[in-house]
Amino acid sequence: MTEGLKLSRRRLLELTAMSGAMVLAPRLAWAGEPQRGGHLVISSGGAAAGDSLDPRTFNSPYGAAMSGIIYNNLIAVQGPNKELVPELAHSWEAINGGLSWVFNLVEGVEFHNGKILTSEDVVFSLRRHAEPDSRSSMRSVISNLVDIRADGDHRVIIDLPAVNYLFPAYMAHFTLGIVPAGTTDFTGIGTGGYKVTNFAPGEVLEMVRHENYFKPNAAFVDSVELLAINDPSALTAAFQSGQVNMTSGLDARSAGLLESMANLRIFKMEGGGYISFNMRCDIPPFDNPDMRLALKLAVDREDMLQRVGAGVGSIGNDTPVPSNDAVFSPNVEQKRYDPERARALFESVGYTGPIVLHTSDAISSRAVDMATVFQEHAARAGIPIEVQRDPADGYWNSVVGVAPFHVSARSARPTADAIFSTAFLGTSENNECKWVNEEFDAAIIAARAEENLERRLALYERAQEICSVDGGTMIPFFSATVQGTSADVDGFNVGAVELNGYRAVEQVWFT
């Protein structure tokens, strides 16, 4: 198990750093050969009547699903180890000692309107994210770049403000789909395997096969329908009844029941997303590291995973790096439930006031369950937790990052650097715990610029150690993604990012 992990970790880093020969994620062995034809219905939540086809506006599971069907990125993420594979860029390499990245584009790629892709389209598509009216979730990343420029028709060069060998992974983010240069009216013209025939925001996206798709062995079904189903019960019912052929976002707690149905295939995958308990490190009593450690030792992680996550997921160690991540360090000591030590630490702090844990349905129904289960665990260590359930309205902006002790959540990111930079660096605006640790920050910054793999892993190991012991974020477990197809769908590969990096639609066929 560790051996396999090391191999794939090394492969990922090699790919990222040097972009040698690019290997496609090996397909799982399926009985049949791909067949053309059929009408595929998939579904996703998170849709709204205000959705648009502009990739810059994608910020929900529905937008991500749309992106992966009608647009392509420079790079795609595939498989359980989040391997970076070529898409519109057939190769990429660092130049200027890691300060610039070159992306070499596939030639002869055709947009849905017949236009041929050039580097100008890529430059246009990426630069849009930094414009003043952009509300793109990649805005901060793109606007920090020094330059995005075309070098001939099939080379794009991106200049970074500082050396970063992990940069290419950003290009796989689902908002960075490539559109034709100069597009102002976004009707879904992309290079993807399917072109839009009808889009009703918040209801449905209908598509037919793009006959000139540049990937030779992809896009098998003739037409695709992406249904917007926001209600989780309706989603499960539509999937059970066979009305939907493929879906992500199923509830882990119903996975066991769905698995027993003969007409369905269920795929469970340990993900990188998590629900956390955030302690504000600038507010007493959480400014005391002993207090933070006491609480971290007062949670029974196995029990919480069983009771809240239905056993589907993996145990967390208060760092945002799940055990299937390429830079995960198995050497960082896994914290275990230790009520005695927690009690001793808590008493040494001498804090007597109430410890109020804010939680809300706004995060997820599990967020409320988790807080209640934790209250029970902590009580056995003599730590009195008061659970305060706040209304869902406004929870994200009036409680998350504000209250001294609260429940929050983060979705999976393509790299450890992405999540560390967003949520843990002392300089980040999105650091909800206001945790500042100079040694940790230095390790994260140095890791970006470290070309040597072993040394980079060592830096990440140190960062995880510090984060696990000293950090303000408690991560009891990582949630799992539960996806499914009907039994007549073949070719579905499970990836750490949902729908195999949102490319599942072009990879499946009907048997």
Partner 1 sequence: MTLMQGSAVRSFVVARIASGLVSILFISFLVFLGTALLPGDAATAMLGQEATPELVESLRQALGLDQPLLIRYLNWLWDALHGDFGVSLSNGQPAMAMLLPRLENSLILAFSAAVIVLPLAISIGLVAAIKKGRPFDTMSGLVSALFLSMPSFMIGYVLIYVFAVEFRLFPAVSSVRASTSLTGWAWALTLPVLTLVLVAQSHVLKVTRAAVLGVMGSDYILMAETKGIPRIRIILLHALPNALSSIVSICMITMAHLIVDVVVIEAVFSYPGMGKLMVDAVAYRDIPVVQACGVLFSAIFVVLNMLADLLGVLVNPRQRLPRRGV
Interface ranges with partner 1 (CB under 8 A): 43, 47-52, 57, 59, 135, 137, 139-140, 198, 200-204, 206, 227-231, 233-234, 237-238, 240-244, 391, 393-394, 396-398, 400, 429-430
Least separation in angstroms between CB 52 and partner 1:
5
Cβ proximity to partner 1: between 430 and 452 the closer is: 430
Least separation in angstroms between CB 507 and partner 1:
24
Of 339, 272, 231, 335, the closest CA to residue 481 belongs to 272
- Residues 6 or more apart whose CB falls under 8 angstroms from that of 394 comprise none
Cβ proximity to partner 1: between 110 and 206 the closer is: 206
Of 48, 66, 69, 70, the closest CA to residue 203 belongs to 48
Least separation in angstroms between CB 305 and partner 1:
24
Cβ proximity to partner 1: between 157 and 246 the closer is: 246
The rounded distance, in Å, linking the Cα atoms of 76 and 80 is 13
Cβ proximity to partner 1: between 43 and 507 the closer is: 43
The rounded distance, in Å, linking the Cα atoms of 127 and 141 is 11
Q: List phi, psi (to 5°) of 214.
A: -75, -20
Least separation in angstroms between CB 232 and partner 1:
11
Q: Could you tell me the CA-to-CA distances from 282 to 403, 434, 472 in Å, in that order?
A: 11, 6, 10
The rounded distance, in Å, linking the Cα atoms of 246 and 239 is 7
Peptide bond into 86 cis (omega under 30): no
Of 71, 176, 57, the closest CA to residue 125 belongs to 176
Cβ proximity to partner 1: between 429 and 438 the closer is: 429
Q: Could you tell me the CA-to-CA distances from 450 to 231, 401, 413 in Å, in that order?
A: 45, 31, 20
Least separation in angstroms between CB 479 and partner 1:
17
Least separation in angstroms between CB 410 and partner 1:
8
Can you list the positions of beta strands (E) in 293-410? Answer: 313-315, 355-360, 385-390, 405-410
Report the half-sphere exposure of 334 (CA within 13 A, side-chain side): 14
The rounded distance, in Å, linking the Cα atoms of 300 and 423 is 24
Cβ proximity to partner 1: between 62 and 346 the closer is: 62
The rounded distance, in Å, linking the Cα atoms of 136 and 44 is 20
Cβ proximity to partner 1: between 244 and 312 the closer is: 244
Q: Could you tell me the CA-to-CA distances from 136 to 104, 193, 300 in Å, in that order?
A: 25, 24, 38
Of 174, 170, 116, 115, the closest CA to residue 148 belongs to 170
Cβ proximity to partner 1: between 110 and 251 the closer is: 251
Report the half-sphere exposure of 388 (CA within 13 A, side-chain side): 12
Least separation in angstroms between CB 408 and partner 1:
8
Cβ proximity to partner 1: between 47 and 294 the closer is: 47
Least separation in angstroms between CB 140 and partner 1:
8
Cα pseudo-dihedral 174, 179, 184, 185, rounded to 10: -80
What is the DSSP secondary structure assignment for residue 37, as one 8-state letter? -
Cβ proximity to partner 1: between 79 and 273 the closer is: 273
266 - beta bridge partners?
484
Least separation in angstroms between CB 39 and partner 1:
13
* Interior/surface letters 459-491, b for 16+ CB within 10 angstroms, e for the rest: bbbbbbbbbbbbbbbbbbbbbbbbbbbbeebbb
Cβ proximity to partner 1: between 282 and 393 the closer is: 393
Contact 276, 472 (CB under 8 A): no
Q: How far apart are the first and last CA of the chain?
A: 33
One-letter identity of residue 424: F
Least separation in angstroms between CB 61 and partner 1:
13
Least separation in angstroms between CB 368 and partner 1:
18
Cβ proximity to partner 1: between 392 and 442 the closer is: 392
Least separation in angstroms between CB 199 and partner 1:
10
Least separation in angstroms between CB 419 and partner 1:
13
Cβ proximity to partner 1: between 177 and 491 the closer is: 177
